[in-house]
Chains A and B, each alone.
Chain A
Amino acid sequence: MTRPNIMEYSYYPGCSLHASAGEYDLSTRELFKKLAIGLTEIPDWFCCGATPAHNVDELLSLSLCAKNLELADKIEGDVAVACAACFSRLKTTQHVLGESDVKRKQVEKALDAPLKLDGKVKHLLEILAKDLGLERLAAAVNKPLTGLKVACYYGCLLTRPTDVPDLDCVEAPTIMERVIEAVGAETVPWTHRLECCGANFTLSRPGVVLQLTHEILDSAKAAGADCIMVGCPLCHGNLDIRQKEIEKVYQTDYNLPVFYLTQLVGLSVGLGSKKLGLDAMIVNPTPLLKEKKLL
């Protein structure tokens, strides 16, 4: 039954995946198991500090990320990251500490240890599209997502800023489209792929978030999408959990299920609803998936 894994990664899930984005964690583990890609969770990882840390205290943010990279270094393989914010912070830390000797020395002092920053940090998209490769991914598909029109939503932090994440082109990325087209879905061109959803203002300024997400959902709907695909738990929270509220405030009706990329790819390789955590989504995807004969 057990076949050897074709690749091994250390896995940094991030805080959201252990709570509000539990289905992202679940579907990632199940998908990677199915694709025979090994994931070993970094033991006792810390929060990366996300936006609040670098917002008010860059040194703390750099130190927290450097500490996580040190913990990841003990495990074999590149670091696989699911959350776009964690991905951005870890990559930014490597970049900033590589450029500035002053900051590097300060962080060394804060950790009281030599820094281990060389591990390669990769977003799940990168692992699917580049390490595994689209051909091998397509070969694993047994239930192509034919007829499903997907709006790929990158949000801010997967590709920005120019010289840091190195995932794809910063202004016109296609990596999400390439991955989801490889498993048989259609993608729609739309205007708000890279617009900000308001991210962590969901706590302090929900009004701002509603205004931004309303424009994003409007754009996806106008483009004729059946659903939205994301690679970030905060984008997901703002678009899925708050969707009913947005509909109420702006008197519209979207009914756009918001999937994590691992859920949609998982569906195409034959994983069932339970293993993908589809029941945890607030906007119920079942009618859509039944209509497209995917469930």
Chain B
Amino acid sequence: MKKKKMIISQETMDVDFVRKVEALSGTSVRRCFQCGKCSAGCPMATFMEHPPNRVVRLLQLGQWQRILAGRSIWYCASCETCSTRCPNKVHLASIMDALRKLSWDAEGASKESYVQLANKLFLQNIRTYGRQYEMRLAAVFNVKSGQFLKDLMLGPKLLAKGKLKMFHRKNKNLSEIEKIFSRIEEMRKKGEAL
């Protein structure tokens, strides 16, 4: 994908997808004039193959597959420096959110599994317990990602400092959170929400 020559034509530009990104993020990619301020301030740009300004340029050209096939969107830390500094009010952090959301169902999207796994477990925890329980999150993440020994040395220290809670109280209104999750799923099934 990376080395493939980019041909810009009506056939290769998928503007429908870009419209979806714009609707979800509430921001227009056409406002960007490529000043590069987003990438200059991005703390994660060195880890990305497409730095933030290029992500927007690729969207302008309808070449979203190139973005989703890479790891850029999964290295964004959501610090919002880009959105803050954009002179044209392109909300790049929201564009990154929209791209991650749309990558669920997109063909050829990369599986940056560690970040996706962490996100998935985080949301599962909310659905099941209403709140985040860091110890459970870290333990399950280590098991599922096969890194059994990751941060093992931190564990006893954190326990001794009372920073890891072994037991927790469940919310009394847990059924409400389940309803929110299932209503959103239903809306998506009916096509009422992206």
A51 and B180 contact, Cβ closer than 8 Å, known pairs A160-B84, A200-B118, A280-B162:
no
A47 to B128, CA, bound (A): 11
Q: B24's closest neighbor in chain A, by CB?
A: A58
Which of B104, B130, B132 is within 8 Å of A56, CB to CB?
A: B104
Q: A99's closest neighbor in chain B, by CB?
A: B26
A208 and B44 contact, Cβ closer than 8 Å, known pairs A19-B164, A241-B154:
yes
Q: Is B108 an interface residue (CB 8 A)?
A: no
Min distance, Cβ A24 to any Cβ of chain B, angstroms: 11
Q: Is A33 an interface residue (CB 8 A)?
A: no
Q: Is A132 an interface residue (CB 8 A)?
A: no
Whether B181 pairs with A51 at a CB distance below 8 angstroms is no
A19 and B134 contact, Cβ closer than 8 Å, known pairs A57-B101, A161-B93, A196-B79:
yes
Q: Is B156 an interface residue (CB 8 A)?
A: no
Whether B157 pairs with A282 at a CB distance below 8 angstroms is yes
- The interface size of chain A toward B, counting residues with CB under 8 Å, comes to 62
- List which A256-295 residues lie within 8 A (CB) of chain B: 279-282
Whether A46 pairs with B161 at a CB distance below 8 angstroms is no
Whether B173 pairs with A44 at a CB distance below 8 angstroms is yes
> Which of A107-115, A116-124, A145-153, A178-186 lies at the interface with chain B?
A107-115
Q: Is A172 an interface residue (CB 8 A)?
A: no
- List which A50-98 residues lie within 8 A (CB) of chain B: 50-60, 63-64, 67, 96
Contact with B along A188-214 (1 / 0, CB 8 A): 000000111011110111101000100
A52 to B31, CA, bound (A): 27
Whether A203 pairs with B165 at a CB distance below 8 angstroms is no
B158: chain A residues at CB < 8 Å are 20, 241
Whether A44 pairs with B171 at a CB distance below 8 angstroms is yes
Min distance, Cβ A286 to any Cβ of chain B, angstroms: 14
Whether B114 pairs with A205 at a CB distance below 8 angstroms is yes
Whether B165 pairs with A18 at a CB distance below 8 angstroms is yes
A106 to B190, CA, bound (A): 12
A49 to B24, CA, bound (A): 18
Whether A60 pairs with B164 at a CB distance below 8 angstroms is no
B180: chain A residues at CB < 8 Å are 60, 63-64, 67, 110-111
A201 to B77, CA, bound (A): 7
A156 and B80 contact, Cβ closer than 8 Å, known pairs A58-B97, A282-B157:
yes
A70 to B84, CA, bound (A): 29
- List which B70-125 residues lie within 8 A (CB) of chain A: 75, 77-81, 83-85, 91, 93-94, 97-98, 100-101, 104, 114-119, 122-123, 125
**Majority secondary structure, B binding face:** helix
Contact with A along B40-54 (1 / 0, CB 8 A): 000110010000000
Min distance, Cβ B187 to any Cβ of chain A, angstroms: 6
B69: chain A residues at CB < 8 Å are none
> Which of B4-12, B55-63, B135-143 lies at the interface with chain A?
B135-143
Q: B125's closest neighbor in chain A, by CB?
A: A47
Whether A160 pairs with B80 at a CB distance below 8 angstroms is yes
Q: Is B20 an interface residue (CB 8 A)?
A: no
Which of A46, A63, A156 is within 8 Å of B81, CB to CB?
A: A156
Whether B114 pairs with A204 at a CB distance below 8 angstroms is yes
A49 to B81, CA, bound (A): 20
A206 to B152, CA, bound (A): 13
Q: Is B179 an interface residue (CB 8 A)?
A: yes
Q: Is B15 an interface residue (CB 8 A)?
A: no
Task: Give the one of A44, A111, A161 with max B CB within 10 A.
Answer: A161
Q: A26's closest neighbor in chain B, by CB?
A: B162
Q: Is A228 an interface residue (CB 8 A)?
A: no
Which of A53, A99, A110, A157 is within 8 Å of B123, CB to CB?
A: A53
Q: B47's closest neighbor in chain A, by CB?
A: A208
Beyond contacts A52-B119, A53-B123, A204-B117: 12 other A-B pairs, Cβ-Cβ < 8 A, are A19-B133, A44-B130, A55-B119, A56-B100, A57-B123, A57-B184, A58-B24, A106-B193, A112-B183, A171-B84, A205-B115, A280-B163
Interface CB pairs A-B, < 8 A, 24: A15-B132, A19-B163, A22-B163, A44-B171, A46-B171, A47-B125, A47-B131, A55-B78, A56-B116, A56-B119, A56-B123, A60-B123, A60-B184, A103-B26, A157-B79, A195-B43, A196-B44, A196-B81, A203-B141, A204-B117, A205-B115, A208-B44, A245-B154, A282-B157
